[in-house]
Structure 1
Amino acid sequence: MAEFMEKSVLGDHEPVDKEALVEEGVAREIGPGELEYIPDDPKTERLLTTRMDFKVIPILGLLYLICFLDRTNIANARLAGLEKGLNMPSTGFNTALWIFYIPFVLAEVPSNMMMSLPWIKPNLFLGGQTFILGVLAMCQGLTHSYGGLLGVRFLMGIVETGLPAGAGLLIASYYRKKELSLRFALFFAFGQAGSCFSGLLAYAIQGMDGAAGLAGWRWIFVIEGLVTIFFSIFVFIFTPHFPGKDKWISEHDRARLLARLEADKGKEYSNQKLANNKKVPWTKVVFDYRIWLMTLLFFCSDMSAGSLSSFNPTILSQLGWKARRAQVMTIPVWIAGIVGALASTLASGRLNKRWPFILPAIVVSIIGWTLHVTYQAPGVRYFAQFIISVGTFIQMPLYIGLLTANLRGRAYLSFGTAIQLGLGNCANFVSSNVFITTQAPHYPVGFGTGLGITCLSFPVMLLVIFLFIRHNKKIDRKLASLAPGEVLDDQIDYKYVY
């Protein structure tokens, strides 16, 4: 390993005392100016991971919670009278959903590449966007026209685009491959908790109908917007920098962290040329089949997630519950998804395997959609929402973990996470338009489309497994043909995990 303490793919940082690190047993010298990381005992390694968990996950998870809160509260406002209050046309609610995702998808990659620039501080970049998002979220409740709502929703899509992908890039920068799926599950759990909180908050806020002359649906937007503005203060203060530049990490911990990331992910953590992407052809990054197949899989699962977040309250209200009770009855559905995701990704991390959990989760989601298509009994449909939630939220963090675990270098990580979370979210264009109001409560187009797209993910995942196995066999053949003393380039020739 070449001077990992002085340069990092995640940015330059202050030099550390190499002699002291050798004396402390952090590293050993293997050549002039070259040090090699000496792993700690498992307990000490876990303590370092735990310190990173408390530093990275809570603030970025809460950021995603706020994003979900501001993205899904329109579904709660609908039950509280949004459509009637703004005299929206029959397809107006669907339009208000998908117009948000136009800039959200288009700006995802540029936003992530911008955050990767060496002079950009993630806390300022993400904090500023969070503050503006809160202002715009409030404006949804203050607009007096349908056109005004659409304009605000479009601007929200521009501002929010960099938040999930930027947070995902930071998480991917701090953790080893086997640790990523669980951390992304925790990240998504915060988002699902946002949906729970949104339903609970909407239940309480609807009681303010008429206060200060504002309808209950307006208060939902105004109060949740104020919550976002308040939270932006914490984003400014606590969002970490990339590991190589983070001043809140001790030199000792930073050295260990960067070194073990290099040992896990290759020399991009020590080679500044790779850090600046001078050796990574953009054509290779853009046309990498791993990014596009994993994005397609994320798209298939996000169809279910988008349907749950946008239409869960509506579907439940049509099962016979009053609007306020329907808000609350969405909460157990999200909790089931959280529990399923955390349990499966914890087991996946310990086994360092993902496919044994992904394939059954796809089958579970298919069963849920099939129940919706086949049965119309309220109890069965409510149960189907649980099934879809569990299957979907097991898949999503595993897909992101699977992609980021197999990408090396800043170019790959920033582009890959932005494409997966950006184009993958195009599923919301579909989910926003297939639940046709005039087809309520049966929604044959909506439920049929959800079933078809979910079924597609099963053969795609089998294709991913086949391609990864074939690639790993190719690497084995290369290793077998090496001459004595010859090594492979670990930026090109490395095995994929699946």
Structure 2
Amino acid sequence: MSDDIKGPRVTEKSDISVDSTAAPAAEIATYDPKLDRAILWKRDIVLIPFTGVLYTLLFLDRTNIANARSLGIGQPDGLEMTLNMPHNGFNTALWIFYIPFVLAEVPANLLFNKNIIRPGLFLGCVIGMCQGLTGSYGGLLTVRFLMGIFEASLPAGATYLIAMYYTKREAAVRFAWFFNFALAGPMFSGLLAYAISNLDGAGGLQGWRWIFIIEGLMTCVIGVIVFFICPNFPQHAQPWFLKPHERERLVAQLEASRGNESEGSAVDSVPMWKILTDWRIHLFTMGFFCCDITASSVASFTPTILTELGWQSTIAQLMTMPIWAAGIIATFGVTWVSSYLNFRTPFIIGACCFQLVGWIIMKVYVPAPGVRYMALFFMSMGTFPQMSIYMGWLSANLRGRKYLAVGMAWMIGFGNCANFISTNVFIITERPRYPTGFSVGLAFTCAGIALAACTYVILVLKNKKRDELRARMTDAECESYDELHFKFVY
């Protein structure tokens, strides 16, 4: 089911057929494998590409500044010298995006949960190309701050929409697909930056400006399309997406997996203070935070590091692509196996070990460029699978629309606070060794291993306590308890 604890309590069929407290018996009796496959196929070919492409564009907007910078490091027409940035100006331009981005995640998802604003409108707000038109450093900071405001709703809102459309067992792999779309953004950003660099001087604009303008235009066009055709929540899915009988069957499946989570239900009436102080949300968020330290470091500084290894700036753009491709392959492969086995902790700890190898190589500063380039592969392949697994793990351990809305937003929003650290520990005066940055990455990776192990132990103890409580109950008391808690297993 939702847990990281293997055992006989709940089987794979718990997503389809469970006790009558989850879904009416008549609905369960209509179980039709062919219909269920068709509904799953519709969700996969509509929902994941829509949310995934948006996330790809968001990552393009977030990471294209790293590609723009690498096109002209130390050159008069480069990003930093053109805008007269101070010595830490690039770092500031990175982290200022995350101030509104982090603060707006939870309020945005609570508004999303109320279903007052259509998902298409909610997820389609973008602002990107203005970065290329700014004439000053202050203008760049202003635009990136506005980007953080308009794009804050996307990651948490999209993950919440996915969590609402898939059962607990189905969600993990879909989070991996969704997250791989995000990794495709910076991967193709390097290719686009290489191609766009040939536009240097066109229209009287430097090459780094064209990176922002062209990628920003792509974001605006896709945002308009999403506004019109993004699906609503399952209970209100448009007929072009799900026919009435398909919608009813899907809602029955979701209730069989999670219980009744409709607006106004008991599980959805939890006071906000209780959600905001829930140990599950904060524990999983801390684990996500630790792996995001590496993710944000790779996203923000890989082109710069590759340039410092001796590659020309344009070649360095292309050399980033295999690093992201390795992360995509590892994310899907590891998450699929984890979901198939319904077991998460060993995969997270194993991925952390890959991260650890990469950071150690960087920390000891092996002089051979090929070895340091290999270290970036270890970091990518170790980091990104953790993020999709953590998303699925948290969503599987929460019940209720409000819990999901706040929980997913909190993980994405406050997990992204890692960017405040990673964008400030790679100090320009310390290059190319970056001792502060590499030491911080190494420390948080070790903390991530400890947190994953701690999370596993706590979930084991919680499940054991529930089993002991049920064992002391009479049949009637146990039935009443299971009706309230939906036979919930961590």
TM-score (norm 2): 0.90
- Whether the 8 Å contact between 1:268 and 1:491 is mirrored in structure 2 is no
How far apart, in 1, do the equivalents of 2:329 and 2:165 lie? 24
Query: What's the CA shift string for 1:448-489, capped at 9, x where partnerless?
Result: 100001110111111111110111111112222332344124
Match of 1:261 in 2: 254
- Whether the 8 Å contact between 1:27 and 1:36 is mirrored in structure 2 is no
Match of 1:110 in 2: 107
Instruction: Describe the SS at the equivalent of 1:395.
Output: helix
Match of 2:304 in 1: 314
Query: What's the CA shift string for 1:135-166, capped at 9, x where partnerless?
Result: xx211111111111111111111111111111
* C-alpha RMSD of matched pairs (Å): 2.0
Match of 1:234 in 2: 225
Q: Which residue of 452, 460, 463 corresponds with 1:461?
A: 452
Question: 1:110–1:189: structure 2 CA closer, same or farther, 3 Å change rule?
Answer: same
Identity of aligned residues (%): 51
- Whether the 8 Å contact between 1:165 and 1:417 is mirrored in structure 2 is yes
How far apart, in 2, do the equivalents of 1:139 and 1:231 lie? 16
In the alignment, is residue 273 of structure 1 matched against residue 265 of structure 2?
yes
- Whether the 8 Å contact between 1:27 and 1:38 is mirrored in structure 2 is no
In the alignment, is residue 62 of structure 1 matched against residue 36 of structure 2?
no
Query: What's the CA shift string for 1:339-361, capped at 9, x where partnerless?
Result: 00101111112111111211111
Deviation at 1:491, TM superposition (A): 5.0
Match of 1:399 in 2: 390
How far apart, in 2, do the equivalents of 1:95 and 1:400 lie? 28
Query: What's the CA shift string for 1:276-318, capped at 9, x where partnerless?
Result: x33x122221111110011001100111110011001000111
Deviation at 1:244, TM superposition (A): 0.3
In the alignment, is residue 295 of structure 1 matched against residue 285 of structure 2?
yes
- Whether the 8 Å contact between 2:61 and 2:215 is mirrored in structure 1 is yes
Match of 2:329 in 1: 339
Q: Which residue of 145, 149, 156 corresponds with 2:147?
A: 156
Question: What is the one-letter code of the residue matched to 1:323?
Answer: S
- Whether the 8 Å contact between 2:60 and 2:186 is mirrored in structure 1 is yes
Q: Could you list the structure 1 runs, at least 4 aligned residues long, displaced by more than 4 angstroms after superposition.
A: 26-30, 33-36, 41-44
- Whether the 8 Å contact between 1:28 and 1:36 is mirrored in structure 2 is no
Question: 1:225–1:155: structure 2 CA closer, same or farther, 3 Å change rule?
Answer: same
Q: Which residue of 342, 349, 352 corresponds with 2:339?
A: 349
Question: 1:326–1:284: structure 2 CA closer, same or farther, 3 Å change rule?
Answer: same
Question: What is the one-letter code of the residue matched to 1:122?
Answer: P
Question: 1:311–1:211: structure 2 CA closer, same or farther, 3 Å change rule?
Answer: same
Question: 1:307–1:496: structure 2 CA closer, same or farther, 3 Å change rule?
Answer: farther
Match of 1:173 in 2: 164
In the alignment, is residue 245 of structure 1 matched against residue 228 of structure 2?
no
How far apart, in 2, do the equivalents of 1:320 and 1:186 lie? 34
Deviation at 1:376, TM superposition (A): 3.0
1:436-455 pair list within 5 angstroms: 436-455=427-446
Instruction: Describe the SS at the equivalent of 2:420.
Output: helix
Question: 1:175–1:442: structure 2 CA closer, same or farther, 3 Å change rule?
Answer: same
How far apart, in 2, do the equivalents of 1:144 and 1:292 lie? 41
Question: What is the one-letter code of the residue matched to 2:389?
Answer: L
Question: 1:257–1:419: structure 2 CA closer, same or farther, 3 Å change rule?
Answer: same
Q: Which residue of 70, 74, 91 corresponds with 1:79?
A: 70
Instruction: Describe the SS at the equivalent of 1:420.
Output: helix
User: More displaced, 230-239 or 362-371?
Assistant: 230-239
Deviation at 1:268, TM superposition (A): 2.1
Question: What is the one-letter code of the residue matched to 2:339?
Answer: G
- Whether the 8 Å contact between 1:367 and 1:387 is mirrored in structure 2 is yes
Q: Which residue of 90, 97, 107 corresponds with 2:94?
A: 97
Query: What's the CA shift string for 1:29-59, capped at 9, x where partnerless?
Result: 99xx974423635554333222211121000
How far apart, in 2, do the equivalents of 1:51 and 1:356 lie? 32
Instruction: Describe the SS at the equivalent of 1:330.
Output: helix
Instruction: Describe the SS at the equivalent of 1:380.
Output: helix
- Whether the 8 Å contact between 1:39 and 1:260 is mirrored in structure 2 is no
Deviation at 1:493, TM superposition (A): 6.3
How far apart, in 2, do the equivalents of 1:89 and 1:234 lie? 39
Query: What's the CA shift string for 1:408-460, capped at 9, x where partnerless?
Result: 10111010011000000000000100011111111110111000011101111
Match of 1:9 in 2: none
User: More displaced, 247-256 or 481-490?
Assistant: 481-490
User: More displaced, 114-123 or 400-409?
Assistant: 114-123
Query: What's the CA shift string for 1:369-401, capped at 9, x where partnerless?
Result: 111111232111100000000000110000010
- Whether the 8 Å contact between 2:27 and 2:249 is mirrored in structure 1 is no
Deviation at 1:333, TM superposition (A): 0.2
How far apart, in 2, do the equivalents of 1:491 and 1:234 lie? 42
Instruction: Describe the SS at the equivalent of 1:267.
Output: coil
TM-score (norm 1): 0.89
Question: What is the one-letter code of the residue matched to 1:336?
Answer: A
- Whether the 8 Å contact between 1:475 and 1:493 is mirrored in structure 2 is no
